[in-house]
Amino acid sequence: MVVVGVTPHQGARESRAQGDVAQVTRTVRRYWTAAWLARFKALYAAHEQLMTAWEQAAAPAPAQATTTTTRLQDAYDAWDTALEAIDAERRTQMKSPGLQQPAKKALATLEREWDGLVRHRDYPMISLDNNAAERALRRPVVTRKNAYGSRTDDAARLAATVWTVTATAEMAGLNPLTYLTAYLDACGRNGSKPLTGPDLQRFLPWNASPADLRTWAQPPPPG
């Protein structure tokens, strides 16, 4: 196609120029993405450090109390540094007049979720993402598919209750089969009736004794 007023040689130069501009745009996008991924990688590393230090400081050995306190403060400092780097950069880029739409959308999402992200400093035990929850849902979803659904409302509620109990046990480091077997054995000794009061409270992982937790963390005996 010949454009009026533009020679083929000029058109070729303009085509090359447009290609060069497009390549620059792609390069800028790759750099922008890589830079933000690096910032979030640093934030994830800082959160992992903070979560570990927080867990250690929650119940330190007497001889390590000072060390764990210092380690926790260092972890808070690392988290603050990583978060401040993200905050400063997002504020600067949001003011940029040439910011492209995909970048604007990403920064708008970050702005919308910012308060929740900041709260992880106060609750370091909470993961930065929901990957663990997504993985935990896979087994119930696959089981429901293989069983062709729960079929009744009561069955669905029962399944939800069982999966909630087993997921809670796993989060506490317990073996679900060993844990449920111990509970059902106790129900059997209770006249085949559900436990109530202190007998039931004993099976809540946050109330259980260290001895029970160690026992319930073991795999069930063979046979």
pLDDT tens-digit profile of 47-64?
Answer: 999 999 998 888 777 788
Q: What are the residue boundaries of the structural domains of the chain, listed by start? A: 8-121, 131-216
How far is the C-alpha of 175 from the C-alpha of 185, rounded, in Å? Answer: 15
Looking at the predicted structure, is the pLDDT value of residue 24 above 60?
no
> What percent of the chain is modeled with pLDDT above 70?
88
d(CA 120, CA 51): 10
Q: Is 60 left (phi over 0), alpha (psi -120 to 50) or beta?
A: beta
pLDDT over 90 percentage in the chain: 57
| Segment 77-128, tens digit of pLDDT | 999 999 999 999 999 999 998 888 889 999 999 999 999 999 999 999 889 9
Instruction: Find the mean pLDDT for residues 174-195.
Output: 95
Confidence (pLDDT) at 223: 66
Choose among 217, 212, 127, 221: nearest CA to 170: 217
Instruction: Inform me whether the pLDDT recorded for 7 exceeds 50.
Output: no
- Does residue 144 or residue 223 have the better pLDDT? 144
> Does 9 have pLDDT greater than 90?
no
Q: Binning pLDDT at 50, 70 and 90, where does residue 216 land?
A: very high
Site of tokens 């060993």: 178
Q: Is there a contact between 68 and 57 (Cβ–Cβ < 8 Å)?
A: yes
Structure tokens at 52: 């570990």
Looking at the predicted structure, is the pLDDT value of residue 217 above 90? yes
Higher confidence at residue 216 or residue 63?
Answer: 216
Identify the band that residue 22 occupies on the pLDDT scale cut at 50, 70 and 90: low
The pLDDT of residue 3 is 42
More confident residue, 22 or 199: 199
Other CB atoms within 10 Å distance of the CB of residue 43? 20
CA distance 49 to 53: 6
pLDDT of residue 15: 53
Tokens matching residue 154: 């009561």
- What pLDDT was estimated at residue 8? 47
